[in-house]
Amino acid sequence: MSSALLEHLGLADDDRVVLEPVGDETPEAGIVLTENPATGRPIAGVRLDTEESYEQTMLAAIAGFDRWRRVPAPVRGQVVRAIGEEMRRSLEPLGELIALEVGKIRAEGIGEVQETIDIADFAVGLSRQLYGKTMPSERPEHRMYEQWLPLGPIGVISAFNFPNAVWGWNAMLGAVCGDSLVWKPSLFAPLTAIATNSIADRVACQMGHEGVFNLVIGTDDVIGERLIHDRRLPLISATGSCRMGRHVGAVVARRLGRTLLELGGNNAIIVEPDADLDLAFEGTFFGAVGTAGQRCTTTRRLIVHESVADVLVDRLVTAYKGVVIGDPLDRRTLVGPLINSRSVDQFLRAIEQAKQQGGEVLVGGERVTGDGFGGHFVQPTIVRVPASGAFPIAHEETFAPILYVFTYRDLDEALAMQNNADQGLSSAIFAGGMRAVERFLSPAGTGSDCGLAYVNGGTSGAEIGGAFGGEKDTGGGRESGSDSWKQYMRRQTVTINHGSSMRLAQGIEFGASS
């Protein structure tokens, strides 16, 4: 399976990919092994970039930018359209590669590529809508307007869990905005990155545009640090942990660069007494179990009214018991492996701490081993939180399928619990009546404090059309839809005097003639 797939996606011929020999022995210096998390076995070796090759790529991106920014935006949109078409043709193999390399189930791998296709479509339309405003000047015979200009080569850092779509959000928007990209993907998903970037670069080059889509693969120490310190990159868009984001934010701020940070989440679903419990069940199930709990939007906390808690939780426990865990490429599987053994350790440690802090494990809580489970599998887990006392583990984002269940009596209490998290990415309420919904969405800002708020839908699975991101430790950035494109451009306010006298703003008179 894997070799045919690598062949099909052109990876077998890529200079960076080392297919043979891939054994258990430590690879030669400068090569990283990417492994299949379902088996724990290596898939291929990938050559890492060095400082020198980084510099070459950077120079290509600078030259690429200088040519690309001169291409009219709607023409750039046509290149993005062709990339979207090529992604459509590669939908299944690319989705399968994602499943193979990061362990998300096939349907979700394909869904991720679909997300890139969707943002490509969005970006094509956008390429004719990079609108600036016109504003009336206070002075006669003056005109004022703003225009949006390409920003530069931009740095993109992405995490393992969305190795294709997060690039898509940045790359498709950045490209129509006239930027070139230098992408540093996760070292857990280098093959997906190579396949993804090759598609975009090949299409762009065939249409005569070299140096727009660039890739650097390397460690955080060597390549990551170079990238974030590099003053030639006016924007660093980074997705990953809060710890990483804090570092990137500080380094880029010191050089007065721009960041777009999309970091962790500790997302909650509130379930009101009059909620449609079928919907609440489905939303929670996908939100908490999907992608084996490895989305930044994963539902980590269920805050359920005490009157419906038992019914809903019993139903979830039954469903969790029936979940098919296994090979992500097997179409029956709902839960694939975690990305690596460290994630399994963190899962086990969180469960241990939950128990020590008085939590009751209602289902799951174990690592899954045995035949066919050579990789990093764990059971989706529900923990009931003790009625009183601190429960600090629920404040941590453990990147694994653990759902903490809290109960509440009144909505204010539930809203306070939902907002009592360091991060502010995604939130949801299931409710029948509009009063609770309106309090959750209050225009005074007293409801959910998150960047994403869902009503009768779970916390994960955003469409591309909205701005995606969140507040507090989530980093404040907004990617994907709406007006997120503005972050990939620089704004210029233009004032034109088309008269024959010099008039100063604020009515100031200055000079001898007055």
Smallest Cα–Cα separation from 215: which of 200, 225, 234, 236?
Answer: 200
88, 125, 171, 363 from 120: Cα distances, Å: 10, 9, 9, 41
Residue type, 109: G
Joined tokens for residue 85: 């078409």
Rounded Cα distance, 224 and 49, in Å: 11
Closer CB to ligand UN1, 36 or 239, in the complex? 239
Closer CB to ligand UN1, 115 or 201, in the complex? 115
Residue type, 508: I
Kind plus residue range of the DSSP H or E element containing 33: strand 31-36
Closer CB to ligand UN1, 161 or 346, in the complex? 161
Residue ranges of alpha helices (H) inside 306-425 are: 306-322, 341-356, 411-419
Contact, 300 vs 288, CB < 8 A?
yes
Nearest distance in Å: CB 299, ligand UN1: 10
Nearest distance in Å: CB 320, ligand UN1: 20
Closer CB to ligand UN1, 76 or 478, in the complex? 478
Joined tokens for residue 432: 């029948």
Closer CB to ligand UN1, 49 or 101, in the complex? 101
- In sequence order, what are the residues at sequence separation of 6 or more whose Cβ sits closer than 8 angstroms to the Cβ of residue 71? 79, 178, 209
Q: Which of 296, 397, 450, 479 is catalytic?
A: 296
Nearest distance in Å: CB 288, ligand UN1: 12
Q: Which of 96, 262, 272, 479 is catalytic?
A: 262
Joined tokens for residue 35: 């492994």
Closer CB to ligand UN1, 306 or 463, in the complex? 463
Smallest Cα–Cα separation from 48: which of 196, 221, 199, 202?
Answer: 221
Closer CB to ligand UN1, 211 or 249, in the complex? 249
Nearest distance in Å: CB 460, ligand UN1: 4
In whole angstroms, how large is the CA radius of gyration of the chain?
25
User: Residue 496 CB: number of other CB atoms within 10 A?
Assistant: 11
Smallest Cα–Cα separation from 448: which of 483, 473, 420, 477?
Answer: 420
Nearest distance in Å: CB 293, ligand UN1: 11
Beta strand extents in 211-333 (DSSP E only)? 213-215, 235-239, 258-262, 267-271, 299-305
Catalytic site residue 262? yes
Contact, 475 vs 262, CB < 8 A?
yes
Contact, 73 vs 176, CB < 8 A?
yes
In the complex, the residues that contact ligand UN1 under the rule CB under 6 A are 115, 161-162, 166, 239, 295-297, 460-462
Nearest distance in Å: CB 248, ligand UN1: 15
Catalytic site residue 296? yes
Nearest distance in Å: CB 295, ligand UN1: 4
Nearest distance in Å: CB 116, ligand UN1: 11
Joined tokens for residue 24: 């258990």
Nearest distance in Å: CB 217, ligand UN1: 20
Kind plus residue range of the DSSP H or E element containing 489: strand 489-497
Smallest Cα–Cα separation from 160: which of 185, 183, 181, 197?
Answer: 185
Closer CB to ligand UN1, 414 or 452, in the complex? 452
Joined tokens for residue 378: 């764990």
Smallest Cα–Cα separation from 463: which of 297, 333, 245?
Answer: 297
Closer CB to ligand UN1, 174 or 481, in the complex? 481
Rounded Cα distance, 212 and 63, in Å: 9
Kind plus residue range of the DSSP H or E element containing 172: helix 165-176
The catalytic residues are 262, 296
